[in-house]
Amino acid sequence: MDSGNLEPSLYTIKAIAILDNDGNRLLAKYYDDTFPTAKEQKQFEKNLFSKTQRANAEIIMFEGLTCVYKSNVDLFFYVVGSSLENELILASVLNALYETTNQILRRNVEKRVLLENMDTVFLAVDEICDGGIILDSDASSIVSKVAVRSDDIPLGEQTVAQQLTKKLEVLQSAKEQIKWSLLK
C-alpha cells in the first residue's frame, strides 16, 4: 500500500499494555490483528520490554510500530500505534492511561496496588480506548466515570448482596450504640 494514499483513520491505537518490572503482562488490550494470537502478543510484549526496560526514551519504533511508554516504580505503561501514527496523539493516550491509573491508585502506582484495583483500571482502559478508537484522554473525566462507590449507586441498581451488606452494617452499628448506652 502506498503511504501517500492512506486515509486518516479513527483506529489509531493498536494496543495498550501494562507490564511489571519483569516484563510480565498485568493488563493488555489489542485492538487489531497485528498480533492475532496470545502467543504472538506475549512474544511482542517480551521483546518490547527487553528493548525498553533500560532505555531513557519515551518513544521507540519497534517491529514496524510506534510505541510510547513510561515506567514508574515496578510498572511499565505502553501505548502502541502504527508506524505512521502521530506520536503526540499516542503520548496523550499514554498520559491519560498513566494519570488515570495514578488517580485510581491514589498516587501509589505500584504492582501490588494495581492488582488490588485491576477491575477499575480495566474500566479506565475501556473508557480511554474502544476498538482502537480514542474515546477520552482527560484523566479526571475518566476517573469520574469509573470510580463508582457503592454509596453512590441508586438503591434500585444495587445488588441484593450490596443491600444486605449495608443493612448488616447499620444493624451492627445500632447494636454497638445500644450496648454502649446500656453500659453507661
pLDDT in tens, the chain (184 residues): 445 556 777 888 999 999 999 999 999 999 999 999 999 999 999 999 999 988 777 999 999 999 999 998 889 999 999 988 889 999 999 999 999 999 888 888 889 989 999 999 999 999 999 999 999 999 988 998 887 554 444 555 556 666 677 777 777 777 777 877 777 6
* The one-letter amino acid at 81: G
* Same-domain status, 72 and 141: yes
Q: What is the pLDDT of residue 166?
A: 72
Q: Is 30 part of a structural domain of the chain?
A: yes
Q: What is the pLDDT of residue 35?
A: 92
* Same-domain status, 133 and 70: yes
* Same-domain status, 160 and 136: no
* Same-domain status, 158 and 72: no
Q: Return the bridge partners of 77, or none.
A: 18, 70
* Same-domain status, 14 and 70: yes
Q: Is 4 part of a structural domain of the chain?
A: no
> How are the residues of the chain apportioned to helix, strand and coil, as percentages rounded to the nearest 5?
50, 20, 30
Q: What are phi and psi of 129, to 5 degrees?
A: -145, 135
Q: Is 2 part of a structural domain of the chain?
A: no
For residue 83, give its domain range.
Answer: 9-146
Q: What is the pLDDT of residue 170?
A: 75
Domain count, the chain: 2
* Same-domain status, 141 and 64: yes
- Asked if 75 contacts 20 with a C-beta cutoff of 8 angstroms, the reply is yes
Q: What is the pLDDT of residue 69?
A: 95
Of the chain, the end-to-end C-alpha distance in Å amounts to 84
Specify the DSSP class assigned to residue 74.
T
Q: Is 29 part of a structural domain of the chain?
A: yes
Q: What's the CA gap between 86 and 152, in Å, rounded?
A: 39
Q: What is the pLDDT of residue 1?
A: 45
* Same-domain status, 26 and 72: yes
* Same-domain status, 160 and 138: no
Sequence-ordered alpha helix ranges (H) in the chain: 38-52, 87-104, 111-116, 118-128, 139-146, 160-183
- Asked if 13 contacts 31 with a C-beta cutoff of 8 angstroms, the reply is yes
* Same-domain status, 135 and 158: no
